[in-house]
């Protein structure tokens, strides 16, 4: 059952227009959609399995070092998993180019906890307004 719920999320994000990556508790990209691949200048297939922190500036890497506190991992639930509404952050693309994006993070509890990262390209946005 758990497995099929992951497949459902994977299928779901493929069809969304926002750039999204699905990250596991250890910060590795489990799945991503075409928009996120374009945003990060990286082929979709090679995004899978990468540490998503590779795309963050050092300043932000520390902040997202532990997506799940050890309490949550142990099931004692004292700590809060990382989640927040859209916040401006800078991503470093595979090409080495810095991009300003709005990043929101949603936590999906389950047998294998997941995080959905939604990235909204701000530069793109600024050009059109």
Strands 29-32 and 114-121: unpaired
pLDDT digits (tens, 9 = 90+) for 48-86: 999 999 999 988 888 888 888 776 667 666 678 899 999
Domain count, the chain: 1
pTM: 0.85
Q: Which domain holds residue 104?
A: 2-128
pLDDT of 77 reads 65
- CATH number assigned to the domain comprising residue 16: 3.30.450.20
pLDDT surpasses 90 at 106: yes
14: left (phi over 0), alpha (psi -120 to 50) or beta: alpha
């Amino acid at each position: 059952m758990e497995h099929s719920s992951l497949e459902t999320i994977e299928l779901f994000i493929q069809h969304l227009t926002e750039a999204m990556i699905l990250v596991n508790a250890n910060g590795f990209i489990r799945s991503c959609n075409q928009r996120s691949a374009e945003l990060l200048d990286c082929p979709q297939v090679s995004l899978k399995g990468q540490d998503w922190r590779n795309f963050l500036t050092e300043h932000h890497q520390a902040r997202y070092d532990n997506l799940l506190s050890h309490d949550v991992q142990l099931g004692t639930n004292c700590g809060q998993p990382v989640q927040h509404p859209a916040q401006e952050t800078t991503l470093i693309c595979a090409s080495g180019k810095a991009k300003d994006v709005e990043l929101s993070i949603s936590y999906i509890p389950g047998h294998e906890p997941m995080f959905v990262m939604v990235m909204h390209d701000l530069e793109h946005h600024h050009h059109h307004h």
